[in-house]
Chain A
Amino acid sequence: MKGNSDFHDDQIQDDDLRARFAELRRTEEAATPPFIFPSLGRAERNRRWLTARLIAVGVCVLVAASVFLARLGSPRPERNVKTVASITEWKSPTDFLLKTPGNELLRTVPAIGVWHDYTAVDPAPKHPQTEKKVLP
Chain B
Amino acid sequence: MIRTDIEGELGRLHAASFGWALWCCDHRREEAEEVLQTAYVKVMEGSARFDANSSLRTWFFGVIRRTAWEQRKRRWLHEQLLGSWYTSRPATAPTPDPEAMASGSESSRVLLQALSGLPRRQREVLHLVFYQDLTVEEASRVLKISVGTARTHFARGKEQLRQLLAVSEKSRSGENRTEEKHEGE
Contacts and interface: CB of A to CB of B under 8 A. Distances in A.
Sorting the interface of chain A by its residue count into under 10, 10 to 19, 20 to 34 or 35 or more gives 20 to 34
B103 A27 contact: yes
Contacts, number: 75
Given A27-B103, A31-B103, A32-B18, A37 B40 contact: yes
A102 to B, nearest CB: 70
Contact of A28 (B19, B33, B126): B19
B33 to A, nearest CB: 6
Interface stretch (B9-17, B72-80, B139-147): B9-17
B119 to A, nearest CB: 17
Interface string A35-51: 11110101100110000
B41 A46 contact: yes
A21 B131 contact: yes
Interface stretch (A10-18, A116-124, A127-135): A10-18
Nearest to B36: A33
Contacts of B108: 20, 23-24, 27
Contacts of A18: 130
B107 interface: yes
Contacts of B130: 17-18, 20-21
B27 to A, nearest CB: 9
Contacts of A32: 14-15, 18-19
B15 A38 contact: no
B45 interface: yes
A35 B6 CA distance: 13
Nearest to A10: B158
Given A20-B111, A24-B104, A32-B14, A38 B19 contact: no
A17 B162 CA distance: 8
B22 interface: yes
B37 interface: yes
A37 to B, nearest CB: 5
Given A38-B37, A47-B45, A33 B112 contact: no
12 contacts: A13-B162, A17-B161, A17-B162, A21-B131, A23-B108, A24-B111, A31-B100, A35-B11, A36-B40, A37-B10, A37-B44, A38-B37
Interface of B: 7, 10-11, 14-15, 18-19, 22, 29, 33, 37, 40-41, 44-45, 100, 103-105, 107-108, 111-112, 126-127, 130-131, 158, 161-162, 165
Interface of A: 13-14, 17-18, 20-25, 27-29, 31-33, 35-38, 40, 42-43, 46-47
